[in-house]
A and B are shown apart, each in its own frame.
Chain A
Amino acid sequence: MSRYLLPLGIFIALVLLLGVALRLNPRLVPSPLVGKPVPEFSLELLRAPAQTLSRGDLTGKVSLLNAWATWCVECRREHPLLVDIAKAGKVPVYGLNYKDQRPDALEWLRRLGDPYVASGFDADGRVGIDLGVYGLPETFLVDADGMIVHKHIGPIDRQIWETEFVPIIERLQGGSG
């Protein structure tokens, strides 16, 4: 009987390994920008082309920078949570409207609500490239010194928000105030 147990033993070892592997994230290529300052940039505002959003706007407090676009279905899924975060008022949310059409983007904000203090209009995606955006939505957590503390690729849901973002935000805000 014992030799017939061997396959089961090997299989159990394999399952344990896979269980451990599930907790790892192979796509978690540590972003070279985490721990680095936000690159210098200047973008015209989505709502007011005469005004600009730049790195300076993000410094002085903990803030979120969320890259979004109207063509991104996952962004739509994420949007209500951003509105809630903005309403809670703990952290200001800035937007990076990435490779989008201005009328579409304005219509989107009118219909779904505008969580952003201001949205930069990155029509050709240059600032996105500087920030290393490679899939929408992406959300950066920026500290008071303008350093990128954390980055999330893909839509944030409530669980990700509570586990990934809130602890860091509380630590940062607790430390400064």
Chain B
Amino acid sequence: MIPELGHFALITALTVAIVQGIVPLLGAWRGTPEWTAMAVPATRAQFALVLLAYLCLTWAFVSRDFSVAYVAQNANADLPLFYRISAVWGAHEGSILLWTLILAGWTLAVSIASGSLPEAFRARVLSVMGLVSCGFLLFILMTSNPFERLLPAPPDGRDLNPLLQDPGMIIHPPMLYMGYVGLAVPFAFAVAALMGGRLDAAWTRWTRPWTTVAWVFLTAGIALGSWWAYNELGWGGWWFWDPVENASFMPWLVATALMHSLAVSEQRGAFKAWTVLLAIFGFSLSLLGTFLVRSGVLVSVHAFATDPERGVFILAFLALVVGGALALYAWRANAISGGGSFRLLSRETLLLINNVLLVVACATVLLGTMYPLIVDALGLGKISVGPPYFDAVFTPLMLPLVFVLGIGPMTRWKGDSAGRLVRLLRIAFIVSVVLALVIVMVTGGFSALLLAALAMALWTIATTVQGLVIRVGSKPSLGQGLRALPRSFVGMSLAHIGVGIFIIGVAATNAFSTERDVRLGPGDSEELAGYRFEFVGVGDVEGPNYSARRADIRVFRGDQPVAVLHPEKRLYPIQAQPMTEAAVDAGFTRDLYVALGEPLDDGSWAVRLYYKPLIRWIWLGPTLMALGGLLAASDRRYRRRAPAPRTAPHEPEPGDPVAATP
């Protein structure tokens, strides 16, 4: 009965979404206030209905209702409660339902926070989001109904994919979807602006914090996914350029570009058409990612059950949504373009370079992801594009980007002089290059790439800190200076420092990681990077729905015990799938990572040992970026309910190297 209630709620939600997608739009076009007024109640009703459906599915999992096919395929009587709750998004049908719920949630949030917007504009935004929701609800009901029954009911379920039975996996997909779907907000704002033919400062002021928050979720989601892969896949890597990873990375790159181009649009009124195009691209790439993951056109470790019918649906939906938005863009972009002029050396130019590099980076990732498809579609055979391609094309794009990152925030809007910038930044530059050289010499791992990466990372941190110091120093006292810092500026600085820390982590991990595949029996030990790993033995452990062999490995540095590690080899009997549970001794300066391989005949085991310096920094960086984003989005000027009409853009004072906002 409960599953049928959920199914019914979804059908009702679809009818409400159709009303939400059509009536307010027509109302805004014809100028009928009674029709535009439908937007808000429809948004709320739709959210309530989708939430009800979602709770019904969760209930089916919690109560172990194996007569629901989706539950039978993704849960088991012995599966612990929190994994039964997270199993709702463990496979295709439920995760699309979560997608839709999050979309309804974002729409609800917009409807609550948008009271100060012009009525017609607000109606258009909510309508566009309603139309997107229609597509997803139709998709669920036509091809991916999670409430389908399986009669007669099997006595027990097939269990959740063991790969997904990990705390990281509980929060990674919702975070990522929050980011993916959050990009629907700037998309809807862009489409609404194109429809209305007006794009003013209020528009950018409105779009900016929403974009930043979506970007924060996307950043956190991607970082969590990387952390999960590191812990769960058992080969010590943190990024694999897998098509599905790329599908989440591409919207991130574009969203990053969008955040920066919005800065220009807000401060200087320039780049407007470009900003709108980026807003469209961001959400388009989210949808494209969904298509790539769900349609089965690409082979990936993220093995969702695929179905060509679903592929056709999403492709048609993608064509309609993105094609429609781009056609609207082609038709109306002229009306909104234009803006302030600027000189060649100015903050506008540097942000333009940032945008170009990020978009080109996104295009290379897209090309690498799609290339196997292109070759296959042209009948030229089956190939796969791997990390060598991505590493080779990505690094040369990122280094100049990071270099520009150091200069941009120090440069004035409209125009600046090269001499002033050189005087301002030469010390930071020399310090970072020399420091990088010293580090490379001391550690003895010389390579040009490592040197360049370290120098650029230090350059980012040095210039950002310098920016903060100048800003604080312009006030009479330290306390006053700190208090006067706008949150957006602190946020930007934090995020930029995060970029530097991330690069240091990547460079150090790539250059100085060591690993060893060894055969260890009880009593054996092995040296790696100054640590001695002593293999004590292997015992049996019973988990709720798996049985495991757990090794006991003691780590010493000299005679000092450092850690006791328990890597496991788990067998989940229902899916007959062995899983490697790596054991990690995490540290700020290094991780020790041990994964258990296969048992060998004489009681010894194949064991993989890794020493990974500074790998935590790879996740510390994005954490700072996400925190910075949150700070920036909560800046005071976005919290005012009715923003005052903008006066002339802020003109920096001659002695003030940094302008008002990032």
Contact = CB atoms under 8 A, between A and B. Distances in A.
B277 A7 contact: yes
Nearest to A74: B73
Interface in B325-356: 326-327, 329-331, 333-334
Given A7-B277, A15-B315, A21 B333 contact: no
Given A4-B329, A22-B295, A71 B158 contact: yes
B617 to A, nearest CB: 36
Given A4-B273, A11-B326, A26 B376 contact: yes
Interface stretch (B57-65, B296-304, B417-425): B296-304
B373 interface: yes
Contact of A18 (B280, B291, B382, B576): B291
B41 interface: no
A102 to B, nearest CB: 17
A99 to B, nearest CB: 7
B299 A26 contact: yes
A17 B322 contact: no
Interface string B474-518: 000000000000000000000000000000000000000000000
- Which range contains the number of B residues in contact with the other chain? 35 or more
A7 B382 CA distance: 29
A26 B296 contact: yes
B297 A26 contact: yes
A17 B315 CA distance: 11
Contacts of A17: 370, 373-374, 377
A24 B306 CA distance: 13
A109 interface: no
Contacts of B587: none
A139 B210 CA distance: 51
Contact of A8 (B308, B315, B329): B329
Contact of A73 (B72, B280, B370, B373): B72
B162 to A, nearest CB: 15
A22 B157 CA distance: 31
B586 interface: no
B373 A99 contact: no
A27 interface: yes
Interface string B142-182: 00000000100010011000000000000000000000000
A11 B322 contact: yes
Nearest to B158: A73
Contacts of A20: 377
B413 to A, nearest CB: 26
Contact of A7 (B154, B311, B326): B326
A4 B315 contact: no
Most buried by B among A8, A12, A21: A21
A4 B333 contact: yes
Contact of B326 (A8, A22, A24, A76): A8
Given A1-B330, A5-B330, A22 B158 contact: no
B299 A1 contact: no
Nearest to A111: B152
B295 to A, nearest CB: 6
Contacts of A22: 295, 297, 308, 311-312, 315
B110 interface: no
B77 interface: no
B250 interface: no
A22 B291 CA distance: 10
Interface in A90-134: 99
B330 A76 contact: no
Contacts of A49: none
A89 interface: no
Contact of B329 (A7, A26, A76): A7
Nearest to B370: A17
A19 interface: yes
Interface residues of A, number: 24
B298 to A, nearest CB: 6
B645 to A, nearest CB: 29
A126 B61 CA distance: 35
Contacts of A24: 297, 373, 376-377
A71 B323 CA distance: 45
A73 B73 contact: yes
A27 B304 CA distance: 13
B574 interface: yes
Interface string B46-80: 00000000000000000000000100110000000
B117 interface: no
Most buried by B among A7, A14, A20: A7
Interface in A1-51: 1, 4-5, 7-8, 11-12, 14-15, 17-22, 24-27
Contacts of A1: 330-331, 334
Contacts of B330: 1, 4-5, 7-8
Contacts of B158: 71, 73
A30 B72 CA distance: 31
B225 to A, nearest CB: 22
A21 B377 contact: yes
Interface in B272-303: 273, 277, 280-281, 284, 291, 295-299
A8 B296 contact: no
A15 B281 CA distance: 14
B596 interface: no
B373 A21 contact: yes
A4 B334 contact: yes
Contacts of B298: 26
B319 interface: yes
B520 interface: no
B73 to A, nearest CB: 6
B315 A19 contact: yes
Given A21-B373, A26-B296, A26-B376, A99 B576 contact: yes
A76 B297 contact: no
Contacts of A71: 158, 574, 576
B318 interface: yes
Contact of A11 (B72, B73, B323, B373): B323
Contacts of B299: 26-27
B273 A12 contact: no
A77 B574 CA distance: 18
A15 B318 CA distance: 8
A30 B28 CA distance: 55
A14 B326 CA distance: 13
A70 to B, nearest CB: 9
A17 B330 CA distance: 22
Contacts of B327: 8
Closest 3 CB pairs of A and B: A8-B326, A4-B333, A20-B377
11 contacts: A4-B273, A4-B334, A15-B318, A15-B319, A22-B311, A24-B376, A71-B574, A71-B576, A73-B73, A73-B154, A73-B158
Interface of A: 1, 4-5, 7-8, 11-12, 14-15, 17-22, 24-27, 71, 73, 76-77, 99
Given A17-B374, A22-B311, 20 more contacts: A1-B330, A4-B329, A7-B330, A8-B323, A11-B326, A18-B291, A18-B297, A19-B315, A20-B377, A21-B376, A21-B377, A22-B315, A24-B377, A26-B296, A27-B299, A73-B69, A73-B72, A73-B158, A76-B154, A99-B576
